[in-house]
């Protein structure tokens, strides 16, 4: 099941005033929504919330919400931070079933660039997509989508078909093998940057 457990309290006072009161009491206010139930105003102890946040497995991952003796799987969909202090101010949780399919954006990670021929050839990696939206079971959401650059050379394009998705997962865009990144000559990469971006935008249309 989930690695992270959020012990929540139900907030009786909602709205801006209720959220401020929760923060004064050392909690982070939030909202639980989704499924066939009405939204519920909740809060989590700020210290415990920060611990979960710093694991890197909170946003976009299946976690367990606990309220008293009750528990249920949820997805942390959004967290708002103070722009100055970076303090978590509010969060949104979505009710899901562990085996329910959901749409979610996953970051793309590029690895082994130091072992790629293009780095020795003076090439550069131009990223077209930093995230990819996929349809995946809630209990199979990956932390990131891995692109292995080992063996890649100048002139190659990396597309969604080059990425191994979790079992049963599919990209939301299904009508084409869309581009993730391109490997170009450094000099050409500067002058042709708009070309690759334009291609990516054209594929979006």
pLDDT in tens, 154-182: 999 999 999 999 999 999 999 999 999 99
The domain boundary, picked from 29, 60, 95, lies at: 95
pLDDT digits (tens, 9 = 90+) for 82-138: 999 999 999 999 998 878 899 898 999 999 999 999 998 889 999 999 999 999 998
Identify whether residues 16 and 74 lie together within a single domain.
yes
pTM, 2 dp: 0.68
Q: Domain tally for the chain?
A: 2
* Range of the structural domain that residue 35 is part of: 5-95
In 3D space, the residue among 95, 83, 81 whose CA is nearest the CA of residue 31 turns out to be 95
Contact predicate 52/58, CB 8 Å: yes
Identify whether residues 112 and 200 lie together within a single domain.
yes
CATH number for the domain harbouring residue 188:
2.170.120.20
Identify whether residues 123 and 200 lie together within a single domain.
yes
Measured distance CA(31)–CA(91) in Å, rounded = 7
Measured distance CA(185)–CA(192) in Å, rounded = 10
CATH number for the domain harbouring residue 40:
2.40.240.10
**The two three-digit tokens of residue 8, written as one number:** 């929540």
């Amino acid at each position: 099941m989930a690695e992270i457990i959020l012990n929540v309290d139900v907030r009786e006072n909602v709205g801006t005033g209720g959220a401020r009161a929760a923060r004064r009491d050392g909690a982070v206010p939030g909202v639980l929504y989704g499924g066939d139930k009405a939204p519920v105003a909740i809060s989590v102890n700020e210290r415990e919330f920060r611990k979960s946040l710093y694991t890197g497995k909170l946003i976009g991952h299946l976690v367990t919400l606990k309220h008293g003796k009750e528990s249920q799987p949820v997805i942390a969909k959004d967290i708002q931070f103070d722009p100055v202090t970076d303090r978590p101010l509010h969060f949104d949780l979505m009710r899901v079933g562990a085996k329910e399919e959901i749409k979610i954006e996953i970051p793309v990670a590029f690895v082994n660039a130091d072992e790629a021929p293009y780095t020795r050839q003076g090439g550069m990696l131009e990223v077209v997509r930093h995230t990819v939206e996929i349809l995946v079971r809630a209990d199979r959401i990956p932390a990131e989508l891995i692109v292995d650059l080992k063996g890649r050379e100048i002139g190659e394009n990396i597309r969604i078909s080059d990425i191994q998705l979790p079992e049963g997962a599919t990209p939301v865009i299904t009508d084409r093998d869309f581009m993730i990144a391109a490997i170009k000559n450094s000099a050409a990469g500067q002058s042709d940057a708009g070309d690759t971006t334009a291609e990516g935008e054209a594929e979006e249309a």
